[in-house]
């Protein structure tokens, strides 16, 4: 079973949740692989920190290129980063890379770039990629000011794309967010998917600790392979 992980925005904890999911499935004896199709913001070694974290959390040996087929230097919107590099992001290439991983792993956790509708090229967005992969979606909600609107808009976009919202995870990047529990309750009432867990604020994010706060059993049989 594989999943496409998106977020209510950039910087909401997608990588932390993806690594936590990988660890949680690995504990169950599954062969798991992290996949970051597009990363913007790479070092001089042309490696991205989020992609490296996914690779480290995978339970099978993977090359960097298998985890992250498109990596760009500038930490800006993917279609702009690609344009600055003289590259066009091709979804068919991403699909081929995904299928290679899916043929070896029991679960592939695909981390989208930015939010669900972030542009990937002049015509296609993250939503188009999720549709092409045909995977159920896990939504990471960054619990901060504006999260209710962002979460509900993202859920509506996922539904409009004809995809299944398999579950959502609440990450708490802001330790001082007012009405934290009330915000979580509001989302539980309005999102038609199970809350997989609340990842409490961590000064130093730790995927192992986050995995202990997720209940992947709530995902049921919604996973898929394209």
pLDDT tens-digit readout, 71-95: 999 899 999 999 999 999 999 999 9
pLDDT, position 224: 64
Given the structure tokens 């592939």, which residue do they identify?
A: 108
Q: Is 14 a catalytic residue?
A: no
Contact status, residue 64 vs residue 51, Cβ threshold 8 Å: yes
Among the options 14, 36, 55, 144, which is catalytic? 36
pLDDT, position 18: 98
pLDDT in tens, 155-166: 999 999 999 999
126-133 helix and 147-160 helix, angle to the nearest 10 degrees: 50
- In three-state secondary structure terms, 181 is helix
Could you give the percent of the chain with pLDDT greater than 90? 84
Distance CA 115, CA 129 (A): 12
φ, ψ of residue 11 to 5 degrees: the values are 75, 25
Q: List the domains of the chain with CATH numbers.
A: 3-219 (3.40.50.300)
Confidence of residue 177 (pLDDT cuts 50, 70, 90): confident
Distance CA 154, CA 8 (A): 6
Distance CA 158, CA 164 (A): 7
Q: Which of 61-70, 104-113, 170-179 has the weakest average pLDDT? A: 170-179
Contacts of 32 (CB under 8 A, 6+ apart): 22, 25, 26, 57, 58, 59, 60, 105, 106, 107, 108, 109
């Amino acid at each position: 079973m594989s999943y496409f992980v998106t977020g209510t925005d950039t910087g909401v904890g997608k990588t932390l949740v993806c690594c936590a999911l990988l660890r949680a499935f690995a504990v169950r004896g599954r062969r798991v692989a992290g996949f970051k199709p597009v990363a913007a913001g790479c070092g001089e070694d042309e490696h991205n920190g989020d992609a490296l974290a996914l690779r480290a959390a995978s339970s099978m040996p993977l090359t960097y290129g298998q985890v992250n087929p498109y990596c760009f230097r500038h930490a800006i919107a993917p279609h702009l980063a690609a344009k600055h590099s003289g590259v066009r992001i091709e979804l068919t290439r991403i699909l081929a890379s995904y299928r290679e991983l899916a043929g070896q792993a029991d679960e592939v956790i695909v981390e989208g770039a930015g939010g669900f509708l972030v542009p990937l090229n002049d015509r296609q967005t993250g939503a188009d990629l999720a549709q092409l992969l045909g995977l159920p979606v896990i939504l990471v909600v960054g619990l901060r000011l504006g999260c209710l609107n962002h979460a509900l808009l993202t859920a509506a976009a996922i539904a409009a794309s004809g995809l299944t919202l398999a579950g959502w995870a609440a990450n708490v990047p802001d330790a001082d967010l007012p009405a934290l529990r009330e915000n979580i309750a509001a989302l539980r009432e309005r999102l038609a998917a199970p809350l997989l867990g609340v990842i409490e604020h961590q000064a130093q994010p730790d995927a192992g600790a986050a995995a202990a706060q997720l209940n992947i059993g709530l995902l049921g049989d919604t996973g898929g392979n394209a």
